[in-house]
Amino acid sequence: EPEVTQTPSHQVTQMGQEVILRCVPISNHLYFYWYRQILGQKVEFLVSFYNNEISEKSEIFDDQFSVERPDGSNFTLKIRSTKLEDSAMYFCASSEVRGTYEQYFGPGTRLTVT
């Protein structure tokens, strides 16, 4: 069964460094998403992406964050200058269509900022 994959599974970085989190969505899906989950807290929406553009973003997704689909398969989340509070689990998800269609989540990347 097709699945969303994410790399790396765990990333440790120093405060102020740039990180790129990578995701490979399910191949025929058109909508892509990033979420984060700070330890012990609820999952929070960051951004949605369709047709090579951001379609929606939350207030968390400030200028420090960017997303890109550099080729036909990868979908990346870049954090330009990491802060301690960026430490969280980051989940990528994809769906065929938006709305009532199911979003399939990847296993997540645990980002630890020291």
The residue type at 6? Q
Query: Which range, of 12-20, 64-72, 80-88, 98-106, touches other proteins by CB under 8 A?
Result: 98-106
Nearest Cα residue to 67 out of 12, 22, 3: 22
58 is a site residue for other proteins (CB under 8 A): yes
Q: Output the six-digit token pair for 36.
A: 């984060």
In contact, 113 and 61? CB cutoff 8 Å: no
* Least CB distance to other proteins at residue 40 (A): 9
Nearer to other proteins, 69 or 98 (CB): 98
Query: What is d(CA 110, CA 37) in angstroms, rounded to the nearest whole number?
Result: 9
User: Footprint of other proteins on this chain (CB under 8 A)?
Assistant: 4, 31, 33, 35, 41-45, 48, 55-56, 58, 89, 91, 93, 98-100, 102-108, 110
